[in-house]
Structure 1
Amino acid sequence: MSSAPLGGSAAPRAVVHPTTRTHHGDDVVDDYEWLRAKQDPAVIAHLEAENAYTEARTAHLAPLRQRIFEEIRSRTRETDLSVPTRQGEWWYYGRTVEGQQYGIHCRAPLASPEDWTPPALTPGVDVPGEQVLLDGNEAAAGHEFFSLGSFDVSTDGTRLLYGVDVEGDERYSLRVRDLATGADLDDVVENTSAGACFSPDGRFVVYTTMDDAWRPDSVWLHEVGTDATADVRLFHEPDERYWVGAGFTRSEHYLVIDVGSSITTEEYLVPASDLRTPPRSIWPRREGVEYAATHAVVGGEDVLYIVHNDGALDFELVRVAADDPTGPRTVISAHEPGRRLLDVSAFRDWAVVSYRREGLARLGILSYETGAIDELDFDEELYAAGAGGNPEWATPIVRLGYGSFITPGTVYDYVVATGEFLLRKRQPVLGGYSPSDYAQRREWVRADDGTLVPVSLVWRRSFGEPGTGQARPVHLYGYGSYEHSIEPGFSVARLSMLDRGVVFAIAHVRGGGELGRAWYENGKLQHKRNTFTDFVAVARHLVASDVTSPALLVAEGGSAGGLLMGAVANLAPELFAGILADVPFVDALTTILDPSLPLTVIEWDEWGDPLHDPSVYEYMKTYTPYENVREGVDYPRILATTSLNDTRVYYVEPAKWVARLRAVGADALLKCEMVAGHGGVSGRYNAWHQRAFELAWLLDVLGLAED
């Protein structure tokens, strides 16, 4: 079995080898399912032929790709340092060095225990007392792919725990390093999930492993200095609908074991002082109830602050006694429709509450004494903000990340006692970048059923306000699944589009989390088509309001957003000149019908269970892209990207989709990374080259590729 030969610029044609799939009395003939056989040399040969064809078809863009790569590079301070984060007796930070693909993880000692002001680090200037913990470039030597899935330093600062994936399949090898000598210990634990951590006393490592379906299902305890065969399993979740995770509270009082599906969660507490204690459920599992707890000490009492949706669609915040979590609840912040509470993160003296309102991320400081939440103010119409890098329990500040379409990524320390924002760093954008050269705005578009859909736009001012003159090229992005919100954040690579006159827009379609839980619920399961029709409505609006025209409109989405791309290509091909689908979930029905495939059973809460429910099967079959490719349609130009070792969306989905598109005469290209995973290639220069390839293709579709 093989593909037709690649003669000149002739497109490879996947051999038709029909197989029949039967469910609920429905026979489906699939001509290209044979491409799933990853180990078959014919499959590899086909993918290599696709890559060769794509390279041949885009060879004329090589100069433009190189220019875009150089633009990204020239705007980036290649030798740079991150803002140090305090943990224990050290400041931890990262280095990047010009010409090197990966970051270097470092630390330097505190000046004193009262030192909460991170040292101002300058590229090229030595840091007193600096210690290199892990050089990613050295660790990646000899590997085409490299990714860190775990990185943790023991509380006493003497040991480093790190997990490495060199295939892209998200299975990590754990190792422990003695930071006094720089040598790795004999400890090696293979095939772990991401997110392993030390116990507070540094004696143990807590990690998770996956089952054959790539579902994290077990939590393990490894004693440092012992063989992994002696590791103890602390917890196992047998229900295939649920994944598990584990981590210690910031207070270091408890290990929290998280068990969850997309609609139900349960958490267990284990005293950090005795990790072999049987885990104790905080609230017993109830279908459809989600919650997340954090430990605090208020008035000398151990308490849990819990964000939950039990009778509260957009969640509420309560406090319970840690030793009696099912007992009386004190409501701290009652349910407020339209304000989606996301998380509460406790510190010694106060907590940070994260939520969304009116489509934007919000942050507030919770007073333990009064229960009031003091919201932090940001002065841009569109922005992205969040708390992160705050490991210390007794800190007087909160480290924040902030940015917008036009404001580069910014790090603040927020002083809780005074309300002061201390600017620690703003992402340097070289080459004379000025935020005043760009503008952003929010629009609201009426969908087919009358629902108002938010759209975020950014453009370069010198080309004029979109919609007030000549139609402009537009790059429209969408996702719309898993309650994941697409933030209006900054991108250096995007400047290469904006500076060529392209307007970038995000359609915040239903299925995402931008407007609360109802926004998500109305874009999943039997309401999934709303995700696609919302995107089409936004595209129609941009055309009708003279912002753009179909010949100047390209669309992009990745993973579940790639399913969106495939669906709109079938629904409204006439609206788009081109569609870029990154690692696209385009053969969703085939995947969700097979419980032996990675993560399928977990996904039933998101998409429905077509294996056992005929109505779900029938509904999914109406929109899954691969099923609905049809003849006689003038499809836009399509580029699909994928990775051979992707465990979330198998390469076979875009491979089959492109084969079927090409069989009906569509101009479709496939680019498959042969050593990578769901996130694409590793290494920052490789990632820049990959993005330059994609942007050059989009510019070519828009007629903006330079000669």
Structure 2
Amino acid sequence: MYKKWKYMIIIGAMAIACSDNNINHLASWPDATAPVAAKKPYVRVMHGDTVPDPYYWMNDYFKKGPDSTMVLEYLEAENAYTAAMLKDTEGLQERLFQEMKGRVKEKDESVPYLKNGYYYYTRTEEGKQYFKFCRKKGHLEAQEEILLDVDVLSEGHPYYAATGFSVSPDNKLLAFGVDTVSRREYTIYIKDLETGALLSDRIDRTEGEATWANDSKTFFYTSKNPVTLLSEKIKRHRLGTATKGDAVVYDEKDNTNYIGVDKSKNGRYIMIYSGGTLSSEVFILDANTPEAAFKSFQPRRKDVLYSVTALADRFLILTNDGAKNFKVVESPLDKTTKDHWKDVIPHRADVLVAGLDEFKDFVVVSERKNGLTQMAVRSLKDNSQHYLDFGEPAYTVYPSVNEDYDSQVVRYGYTSLVTPSSTFDYNMSTREKTLKKQQEVVGGYHAQNYVTERQFATAADGTKIPISLVYRKGFKKNGEAPLLLYAYGSYGMSMDPTFSSSRLSLLDRGFAYAIAHIRGGEEMGRQWYEDGKMMHKKNTFTDFVDCARFLQKERFTSSSHLYAQGGSAGGLLMGAVINLSPSLWNGVVAQVPFVDVVNTMLDESIPLTTNEYDEWGNPNSKSAYDYMKSYSPYENVEEKEYPNLLVTTGLHDSQVQYFEPAKWVAKLRATKKGDKVVLLKTDMDYGHGGASGRFDYLKDVALIYAFLFKLEGITD
């Protein structure tokens, strides 16, 4: 039996300075002994390749194996070590937390939106972590109805997430999903809005959303596998009946696909979406006949993605069929297959069509061009089109909540690295723009005190990589200032420049902040994504390194003051770049990092693994296995000096299991040279997204900033 005493931490009475290997000579650390993880025999054999994995036992808490207790003891010991190493920052962490919390307007209200005769909104109260979901009938001066008081419901729960608020067409019932574990398994509840009582209907292990048929008695939901957490089935539930009798209306046979169910904005159709990275299929049903069978809109085809938008007299289809960057086609309501599709917005090599938002007389087209988001308003009467203008070098714009199909007004959100989140209403007929709300930064914020830039780094293959930057005026480009470089670079998810009031605590202490828009995202079009996935994944990592070198070359910073941050697949990025160029960074923050790529992708019992084959590859194929193994951070830890490292995870993480970062940290400690610190912080109550309260998450931000400031010698 591995003895608990091996995890004990010995704290010295005196702090000692970092060794000469610390290029910054500013941070000092307590004389604390890091936990030493047990090594147990385990060998992976695949494609004739034999790989020892002495930390495989850390899976046991997830697998409910014999070493479950030892896993918890080890994680707690790591938490104690991290707390000891950062003890001298506790005061700073509290000040940072209060500083960031102090910028948040505690009593606030969202901009109401109109749906089916009611204005819906959420509001927050002083000192409360959560919110109240409310509505008013007919006009904004009407009496308020509190439909759901999440502040009350969350009492006694370390974690509480409420989602999927869906009011029945007759406005009498509210469906909502609740997760109290943080593994994204939601229980659906139904509330009678006339009596305030919860109905007996309760459905466990769902995605959390109910899609109502027009009878207000039937709804559809997505059911999850209890082990893999894959969304496997779409079921139909009728109020007042036993859930075990719910009919399966769609059963996904391809375990690489995600599925979901939704309703068209005009209320006429229920739609099931089944899709992976490479192909998709939509199934459609008249919302007035919920007992009928769903029909395929267009049978799935290899390497063809499509989604469907219902108008009054036709369907619009967004597809990549013969169109790398997607195009928009249309079909009649009664003839939906490909042979009836007609081009509406043709393919353009320099513009990615990202989404459609439909209205009775207009359709709003979300696009990307040259790495920036843009919105086009297109008339359904004459196909004329115009673009909205925003006037900043780096920004983000997106359609907001637009539930009223008959509206002439589109609501959109706008933000940039210096512009707080703003909500606008834009009249598509008159072209008048109205600011409805801008995020208030309590205590005052002056955008003119900050500067935002857009630069381009050149990758090794000549590709230009966009970088968005922000810093406070007075920042000197002399190579001596600290800079935090962030990126994600996977799944085609674009990391657009947005405002953060908490980031001001970084900028006001002299840091610059930069986002590297590396391949693997979709900032520069669909090809940008495809050039950073599967057998091209290494472009993601080398792009980030090339962005870092560019920032040093342009004297924004230097290796002594350069820091990197990424989470989840961005945590994989962190692990890969410190293997590639360990001396490039003074410190790295890896949040919930996906660092054990090969082992995870070989284990189909781990949630979401099979969904990811089209992103990373299937290691049951030797070529995919070899390629993954060549970059997987856990596989490539070597005996060399790594930068200072802070790793965070959550015990209940359903996206990246806790044992990936835990194994990685143990292997780094046992292998690396030098005395740079490696810290692991596990949230024992939370999962992938961290704390659920609107203030609690700031404690994690404060911890990360305190780690960076300690490395920079910033004490206040």
Same fold (TM > 0.5)? yes
C-alpha separation in 2, matches of 1:635 and 1:98:
44
Alignment counterpart, residue 640 of structure 1, candidates 626, 632, 647: 647
The 5-angstrom pairing of residues 376-525 of structure 1 reads: 376-464=388-476, 467=477, 469-525=478-534
Shift of 1:230: 2.5
- The 2-side partners of 1:2 and 1:690 are apart by 31
Match of 1:110 among 131, 138, 142: 138
- What is the letter of the counterpart of residue 8 of structure 2? L
What is the CA-CA distance between 1:226 and the residue it aligns to? 2.2
1:524-603 to 2 correspondences below 5 Å = 524-603=533-612
Q: Deviation string for 1:564-586 (max 9, x for gaps)?
A: 00000100010100110010000
After the TM superposition, which residues 260-299 of structure 1 pair with which residues of structure 2 at under 5 Å, given as runs? 260-297=275-312
2:77 is aligned, of 41, 45, 49, to 49
Mapping 1:160-171, distance limit 5 Å: 160-171=174-185
Determine the C-alpha separation between the residues in 1 that align with 2:579 and 2:3: 28
Contact 1:585 1:653 in 2 (8 A): yes
Paired AA for residue 313 in structure 1: K
> C-alpha displacement at 1:101, in angstroms?
0.8
Q: How does 1:234-253 map to 2 (within 5 A)?
A: 234-253=249-268
Structure 1 residues 530-565: Cα deviation after superposition (integer angstroms, max 9, x where no partner)? 000000001111112211011101000000000000
The residue aligned with 2:25 is none
In the other structure, the counterpart of 2:113 is: 85
Distance 2:451 2:554 in 1: 18
The equivalent of 1:216 in structure 2 is 231
* Preserved contact between residue 2 and residue 45 of structure 1 (Cα < 8 Å): no
Instruction: Report if aligned partners of 2:409, 2:428 keep a CA contact under 8 Å in 1.
Output: yes
Contact 2:494 2:521 survives alignment (8 Å)? yes
**Residues 457 and 506 of structure 1 are in contact (CA less than 8 Å); yes or no, is this contact kept in structure 2?**
yes
Q: Which amino acid aligns with 1:35?
A: M
Matched, 1:35 2:46: no
Matched, 1:616 2:624: yes
Q: CA RMSD in A?
A: 1.3
Name the structure 1 match of 2:663: 656
> What is residue 137 of structure 1 aligned with on the other side?
151
Cα distance per residue 1:591-642 (max 9 Å; x no partner): 011222211111110011111x1111111111000000111x1100111111
- Which string of whole-angstrom CA distances, capped at 9 and with x for unpartnered residues, describes residues 494-542 of structure 1? 0000001100000000001100011001101111000000000011111
Match of 1:15 in 2: 38
Deviations 1:101-157 (A, max 9, x none): 11111112223xxxxxxx5xxxxxxx6501111111111111111012321112222
CA contact (8 A) 1:562 1:586 kept: yes
Superposed displacement of residue 361, structure 1: 1.1
> Aligned ranges for residues 149-168 of structure 1 at < 5 Å?
149-168=163-182
Decide whether the 8 Å contact of 1:81 with 1:95 is kept in 2. yes
State the one-letter code of the partner of 1:173. T
Please tell me the residue identity of whatever aligns with 2:323: A
Moved more, 445-454 or 589-598: 589-598
Partners in 2 of 1:247 and 1:569 — Cα distance? 42
> How far apart, in 2, do the equivalents of 1:656 and 1:236 lie?
36
Amino acid at match of 1:445: A
Q: Secondary structure at the match of 2:340?
A: coil
Q: CA separation in 2, counterparts of 1:200 and 1:637?
A: 57
C-alpha separation in 1, matches of 2:604 and 2:193: 44
Task: Provide closer, same or farther for how the CA distance between residues 555 and 589 of structure 1 changes in structure 2, counting only shifts above 3 A.
Answer: same
Which whole-Å CA distance do the structure 2 matches of 1:422 and 1:134 have between them?
A: 30
Q: In 1, Cα distance between the equivalents of 2:648 and 2:244?
A: 39
**Residue identity opposite 1:101 in structure 2:** Q
Q: Does 1:338 align with 2:361?
A: no
Distance across 1 between alignment mates of 2:39 and 2:420: 49
Amino acid at match of 1:517: R
Distance 2:366 2:215 in 1: 30
**What secondary structure is seen at the aligned counterpart in 1 of 2:71?**
helix
Indicate conservation of the 8 Å contact 1:209/1:216, yes or no: yes
| Partner Cα separation in structure 1 for residue 288 and residue 121 of structure 2 | 29
TM-score (norm 2): 0.94
1:695 correspondence with 2:705: yes
Distance in 2 between residues matched to 1:658 and 1:384, nearest whole Å: 36
Matched, 1:324 2:352: no
Give the secondary-structure state (helix, strand or coil) at the position aligned to 2:474. Answer: helix
Unaligned runs of 5+ in 2: 11-31
CA contact (8 A) 2:9 2:81 kept: no
**Residue of structure 2 in register with 1:116 after alignment:** none
Structure-2 residue corresponding to 1:205:
219
> Secondary structure at the residue paired with 2:267?
coil
Aligned to 1:123: none
Q: Give the whole-Å Cα distance in 2 for the aligned partners of 1:75 and 1:366.
A: 39
Distance 1:59 1:186, change over 3 A: same
Greater Cα offset, 501-510 or 193-202: 193-202
Question: Is 2:375 the partner of 1:363?
Answer: yes
Deviation, 1:225, is 2.4
Say if 1:573 and 1:636, in contact at 8 Å, map to a contact too: yes
Q: Which moved more, 1:349-358 or 1:220-229?
A: 220-229
Identity over aligned pairs, percent: 40
Aligned counterpart, 1:115: none
Asked if 1 retains the 8 angstrom alpha-carbon contact of 2:7 and 2:74, the reply is no
Equivalent position of 1:315 in the other structure: 326
Partner SS for 1:75? coil
- Measure, in 2, the Cα distance between the counterparts of 1:18 and 1:548: 44
> Is contact 2:519-2:531 (8 Å) kept?
yes
Q: Distance in 2 between matches of 1:480 and 1:194?
A: 27
Counterpart in the other structure of 1:122: none
Residue 203 of structure 2 corresponds to 189
Residues 421 and 201 of structure 1, relative CA distance in 2, 3 Å threshold? farther
Residue aligning to 1:58:
86
SS in 1 for 2:614: helix
Partner of 2:315: 304
Moved more, 324-333 or 242-251: 324-333
Give 1:160 shift: 0.9
Given that 2:218 and 2:290 are in contact with CA atoms closer than 8 Å, whether structure 1 keeps it comes out as no
Structure 1 regions of 5+ residues with no counterpart?
112-118, 120-126
Distance 2:319 2:434 in 1: 32
Q: Residues 343 and 354 of structure 1 are in contact (CA less than 8 Å); yes or no, is this contact kept in structure 2?
A: yes
Match of 1:73 in 2: 101
| Aligned counterparts of 2:241 and 2:605: Cα–Cα separation in 1 | 34
| Aligned-partner SS, 1:47 | helix
Tell me the residue number matched to 2:20: none
